[in-house]
Amino acid sequence: MDPSSIAKSAWLSLTNPDEEGLPTNIPHPDMEPLRNPPPSEPKDGWTYHMFIHLDTLEDLELVLSPGNMVQETSHPAH
């Protein structure tokens, strides 16, 4: 993996939760992942611009390959 391809920043949005429905209307996302409808009106929330910091980038590609007994190597991230 090319370290320069790792995102340097990302947007994080936190919104207020939806109103809790009646017990018979509570969706089961594990059983029906597409059942949760989008919000019907705008939601209050916050958006933050996050800067991603990687202190160390570890190359585990050789370690995780079947049959390889190579020790992992670490490289400082740029």
What is the longest distance spanned by two Cα atoms in the chain?
55
**How does residue 76 score in pLDDT terms, banded at 50, 70 and 90?**
low
Q: How far is Cα 30 from Cα 25, in angstroms, rounded to an integer?
A: 15
- Are the beta carbons of 35 and 29 closer than 8 angstroms? yes
pLDDT tens digits, 6-64: 888 999 988 887 666 556 666 666 665 555 566 777 888 899 999 988 777 777 776 66
Model pLDDT, residue 54: 75
Q: Is 4 helix (H, G, I), strand (E, B) or coil?
A: helix
- Are the beta carbons of 57 and 76 closer than 8 angstroms? yes
| H helix and E strand count, the chain | 1, 4
Model pLDDT, residue 11: 92
